[in-house]
Amino acid sequence: MKHAGPTTLASLSELLARLRCVEGLVEKKPGTFYFRSKAYLHFHEDPAGVFADVRLNGEDFERFAVNTRHEQESLLKLVSRSRRT
């Protein structure tokens, strides 16, 4: 599974804009977010769709599909909750 390219990231522009508003997240390069000095969230694409890898617990990446608006909203809620703890 390869990292998401520019076309895929462009299709996620609304999601990316909302992630940029999450306190504490810093986008070091397009679609790659850090929390403090540690990689926190990035995107992958493959024939099965687009996925976000997120370190919700601060240690291990978990993979979430972000192909639909519902999946993207769910991801945003998880990210927002994880940054409040």
Element (H, E) at 52: strand 49-54
Residue with tokens 């969230």: 41
pLDDT for residue 82: 86
Per DSSP, helices labelled H in 1-85 are 6-11, 13-19, 69-84
For residue 63, give the nearest of 48, 52, 71, 72 by alpha carbon.
52
Residue 50 clears pLDDT 70, i.e. is over it: yes
In this predicted model, what pLDDT tens digit does every residue of 38-47 receive, in sequence order? Answer: 999 999 999 9
pTM for the model: 0.91
Question: CA neighbours within 13 Å on the CB side: how many for 6?
Answer: 0
DSSP letter assigned to residue 4 = P
Tens digits of residue pLDDT in 53-81: 999 987 899 999 999 999 999 999 999 98
